[in-house]
Amino acid sequence: MTRGKFITFEGGEGAGKTTQVARLAERLRAGGVETVVTREPGGTPLGESIRDVVLGASPEPVTELLLFAAARAEHVAKVIRPALAHGTWVLCDRFVDSTRVYQGVMAGVSADLIGAIEMRTVAPTFPDLTVVLDVPAEEGLKRTEARGALTRFDAEHAAYHVELREAFRRVALAEPERCVMVDGSRAADEIAADIWRTVETRLLAEARP
Ligand code: Z5A
């Protein structure tokens, strides 16, 4: 059985991750590729409970890190790894880069601690491709405000969102073999077409017999 491909979507608030995960899943399924869509925090019953806790409170950065990591350990072991082993492709809305950026860069938890936890909870199941959707902070916030239901992260001050965007851009630039940065400020169709081209070139060509 050929292992499925693992694609994650990252970026700041309102970057369009959920929209583009759904578009890509639709296109892959239409082409006959079995595809699972999932998200973090969440993806399992326990992970969804942790999501409610962690988004509903304002824990200490290290507490937050451990809660996200606990949800991820369950998610990787019970959903992501089994699906990939079965040949199913997995599209995940946020993954390790969100921890590196929100808890690491933004909240100051050490990269060494984050890396050590990743090795215990994720390795060797790192994404084959990470799509970093890049949107100016004010555009992302405009979108989330228009949609309503802001999280405590959405409600942070403007400078926080500008720094967040820069941190995700650095993630994409630091690992070009895994990450692709896509201009998310365009129309959803245009973005989806770009992502599809990348998936075709980097993953589908290789997966074809
Ligand atoms: N977090 C963390 O700190 N550490 C971790 O390890 C993990 C997460 C895994 C999860 O919140 C929070 O958890 C997150 C970081 C933290 N921070 N926040 N907030 P979430 O899942 O509730 O929120 P989100 O991930 O930021 O999702 P979002 O706000 O829903 O944004 P999105 O998924 O990127 O965008 P969207 O839902 O596709 O689109 C947002 C709106 O814009 C919607 O009305 C769309 O119709 C519209 N949209 C989408 N694309 C376009 C385009 N191209 N043009 C115009 N309008 C568009």
CATH code of residue 32: 3.40.50.300
Q: Given this model, what pLDDT does residue 205 score? A: 85
> Is residue 159 included in any domain, yes or no?
yes
Domain around 65: 6-207
pLDDT grade, residue 110 (50/70/90)? Answer: very high
> Is residue 76 included in any domain, yes or no?
yes
Enter the pTM of the model: 0.97
Close Cβ partners of 107 (under 8 Å, ≥ 6 residues apart): 61, 64
Residue 50: C-alpha distances to residues 45, 104, 158, 164, 193 (Å): 9, 19, 27, 23, 34
Please identify, by atom number, the ligand 1 atom nearest to the C-alpha of residue 20.
38
> Is residue 124 included in any domain, yes or no?
yes
> Is residue 1 included in any domain, yes or no?
no
> Is residue 165 included in any domain, yes or no?
yes
Mean pLDDT taken over the chain: 95
> Is residue 190 included in any domain, yes or no?
yes
Q: How many domains does the chain have?
A: 1
Has residue 200 got a pLDDT over 90? yes
Report CA(12)–ligand 1 centroid distance (Å).
Answer: 7
Quote the crossing angle between the two packed helices 17-30 and 188-199, to the nearest 10°: 50
Instruction: Reply yes or no: is the peptide bond before residue 209 cis, omega within 30 of 0.
Output: no
| pLDDT tens, residue by residue, 146-156 | 887 777 787 78
Report CA(2)–ligand 1 centroid distance (Å).
Answer: 31
